[in-house]
Structure 1
Amino acid sequence: MQTSDLVNKALLFAAQAHNGQLRPGSTLPYLVHLSDVALEVATTLMVEPGYDPTLALCCALLHDVLEDTNIDEATLEAHFGPAIVGGVRALTKDPSLPSDERMIDSLRRIQQQPREVWLVKLADRISNLSTPPPAHWSPERISAYCTEAELILTTLSPASPYLTTRLRSRIDQYRNMTGVA
């Protein structure tokens, strides 16, 4: 299967899996977030060649399927194979862990994956920082989210100078937007 065919399959699969979900804090379909992440990754692939575009783009489109839908790993692997499901699994926080350990665990698992998976996490946080925080978040929660973004940046920055610069800028903009130091 050609890259564009598998990526298109991933887009359609993600659209069906997330059907009815909205981007948090908005009336936009969740697919907008997935597309935003995929566009960040696609731009990176153009600016910094040498990555596997199929792995990167499929993981970008599918990165929340295991975490936010009822799709299981076996189903995902049957459609997309072990490399893509491995990337998506690493990008999925483990709900059995205490909440303050989930991101550290995920980052550790992401670091064991090809760099394409690292790109997805960087792009995901860039996308998540592009909108204001949910209205119910306290200043402490917003600050913790920014601190977590800094951890992602520090941990995964070797994967991409382009996305590192983008995320650094987005964190700074988010801090300014929210008034969180």
Structure 2
Amino acid sequence: MEEILKLDADALAARVIDIMGSDTWPSVEKAIAMVHEKHGGQLRKDGSDFRGHPFRVALYLCEVAGLKDANLVCAGLLHDMVEDTNADHADIEDDFGPKVGDIVRAMTWPIRKDGVDRSEHDLKLFEGMRWDDRDVQIVKSADRLDNIATIEGAFCDEHRDAYLATTRQGMLPLTLACNTALYHALNNALTARGCPE
């Protein structure tokens, strides 16, 4: 997993194509092109190329979770598209089908209200995810795994510690229920960053 963190966006995208092939439905290549188009030039909180995040999420789905389902991989690639670009749910569903659209819709969390603690907000959303489709839980687990793996430099210490604790308390049980390989990877990432069990 550490090796994936060292790859740039183009190398990550090529690796996804190597694993998935170029003839999938929905089209993984088209999802990768959309990531390049819509997330190109965006930076993450730590200053890194935003495109690396969805590409790593797709690779965690393939290489860690052992899943090579094109719907899941496309949803992993597109999971932040509606929140962070001018794309909307109709664009996703029209181009990638209802399954991908449904996962991306479920991954698009509501904006936190003023005065609501972030940890409290996230824990309520995790609680609601218990009723979501298993595929939503899997993609969210891969997303959270990458956020934890790349958390250094993204948050102040207080926010970082709260994010780690919220992930352990709210996301980790969902991950255990949906994919044990992702569970072990996420648990190890949390432990490596000093979040006690």
Per the normalisation by structure 1, the TM-score is 0.81
RMSD: 2.6
Is 2:79 the partner of 1:94?
A: no
1:135/1:10 Cα in 2 relative to 1: closer, same or farther (>3 Å)? Answer: closer
Counterpart in 2 of 1:67? 83
Amino acid of the structure 1 residue aligned with 2:140: K
- What is the rounded CA distance, in whole Å, between the counterparts of 1:3 and 1:12 in structure 2? 14
Q: CA deviation at 1:108?
A: 4.8
Contact 2:172–2:183 under 8 Å retained in 1: yes
Q: 1:24 aligns with which of 27, 35, 45?
A: 45
- What is the rounded CA distance, in whole Å, between the counterparts of 1:96 and 1:124 in structure 2? 19
Amino acid of the structure 1 residue aligned with 2:141: L
Contact 2:145–2:189 under 8 Å retained in 1: yes
Contact 2:151–2:160 under 8 Å retained in 1: no
Is 2:132 the partner of 1:116?
A: no
- What is the rounded CA distance, in whole Å, between the counterparts of 2:151 and 2:120 in structure 1? 24
Counterpart in 2 of 1:3? 24
- What is the rounded CA distance, in whole Å, between the counterparts of 2:128 and 2:71 in structure 1? 16
- Structure 2 residue ranges without an equivalent (≥5): 1-21
Cα shift readout 1:134-164 (whole Å, capped 9, x = no counterpart): 3661x32122101121111123321111000
- What is the rounded CA distance, in whole Å, between the counterparts of 1:55 and 1:112 in structure 2? 19
Q: CA deviation at 1:33?
A: 1.0
- What is the rounded CA distance, in whole Å, between the counterparts of 2:52 and 2:25 in structure 1? 19
1:87/1:105 Cα in 2 relative to 1: closer, same or farther (>3 Å)? Answer: farther
Amino acid of the structure 2 residue aligned with 1:129: I
Q: CA deviation at 1:106?
A: 3.9
1:108/1:65 Cα in 2 relative to 1: closer, same or farther (>3 Å)? Answer: farther
Cα shift readout 1:94-122 (whole Å, capped 9, x = no counterpart): 01654455434543554444323222111
Matches for 1:167-178 after TM superposition, within 5 Å: 167-175=186-194
1:58/1:110 Cα in 2 relative to 1: closer, same or farther (>3 Å)? Answer: farther
Q: 1:156 aligns with which of 153, 175, 192?
A: 175
Contact 2:27–2:74 under 8 Å retained in 1: yes
- Structure 1 residue ranges without an equivalent (≥5): none
Contact 2:61–2:142 under 8 Å retained in 1: yes
Counterpart in 2 of 1:133? 152
Per the normalisation by structure 2, the TM-score is 0.75
Q: CA deviation at 1:60?
A: 0.6
Q: Percent identity?
A: 28
Worse-matched range after superposition: 35-44 or 100-109: 100-109
Counterpart in 2 of 1:81? 97
